[in-house]
Structure 1
């Protein structure tokens, strides 16, 4: 199995866990004299089995990410960390730009005047650069995911 396939399965497992959680919560309490629509014990068993599979799959994914070389300097796990940090920085600067661009109308000279304390043009350029770095890194990661076999 390729790493990319394992990642897709992991996402499916995580969605299924959430669905089982919701079903379990819906059936754990009923009005006195009523029966739950599903047996909570059966749902709990299915949830436990799925979580065991998910745990094993995540271990294999993590091992593969750690032992797979991304380039001559870093592992795939390192590249994933870099992508995450670039994404966080991009998000913060995008939110900063939103705040800087909020226009507060003044109706008289006595109202408080607000000014932007950053260079919006430079900040936007930084966001654009981060976005490009993120896209390029993400493309390389996705390509490697489809070329890499999942390690046991």
Structure 2
């Protein structure tokens, strides 16, 4: 099995756990004299089986991520950490540019002559350029990660 297939299975299992959780909580209590629409005990057993499968998948995925190398990007785990930090950095830079441009208030100029003008403390254009560079770097790294996911075999 390829790593990408395992990642898809992990996502499916996580969705299944959430669906079962919702069904369990819906059927955990019922009105006296009524019959619940589903057996909550059976659902608990089912969710336990899915969780055991999920744990095995996560262990194998993590083992594979820590072992598979991506050249200059290091291991797949290193690349994933780098991508997470790039996304955070992009978010911060974008938020800073928006705030400096006055986007949060909906206007960047004063309403009345008597109001004090708001002045940007940050270079908006440079921040937007930096955000664009970060977004490109994230996309390029993500492509390399996806390629590796489809090329790497899942470890036991």
Structure 1 length as normaliser, TM-score? 0.94
Partner of 1:56: 56
Partner of 1:143: 147
1:125 to 120, 123, 129: 129
Partner of 1:91: 91
Length, aligned pairs only: 152
Residue 100 of structure 1 deviates from its aligned partner by 2.3
Conservation of the 8 A alpha-carbon contact between 2:3 and 2:153: yes
Residue 10 of structure 1 deviates from its aligned partner by 0.5
Distance in 1 (alpha carbons) for counterparts of 2:54 and 2:7: 11
Partner of 2:17: 17
SS in 1 for 2:71: coil
Residue 72 of structure 1 deviates from its aligned partner by 4.9
SS in 2 for 1:33: coil
Q: Which runs of 5+ in 2 are unaligned?
A: none
Per-residue deviation, residues 57-101 of structure 1 (Å, max 9, x unmatched): 000000000011111561110011001100111112122222222
Distance in 2 (alpha carbons) for counterparts of 1:72 and 1:41: 50
Cα RMSD (Å) of the superposition?
Answer: 1.3
Q: Which moved more, 1:104-113 or 1:34-43?
A: 104-113
Partner of 2:81: 81
Per-residue deviation, residues 14-49 of structure 1 (Å, max 9, x unmatched): 111110011111111112221210000000000001
Distance in 1 (alpha carbons) for counterparts of 2:73 and 2:88: 22
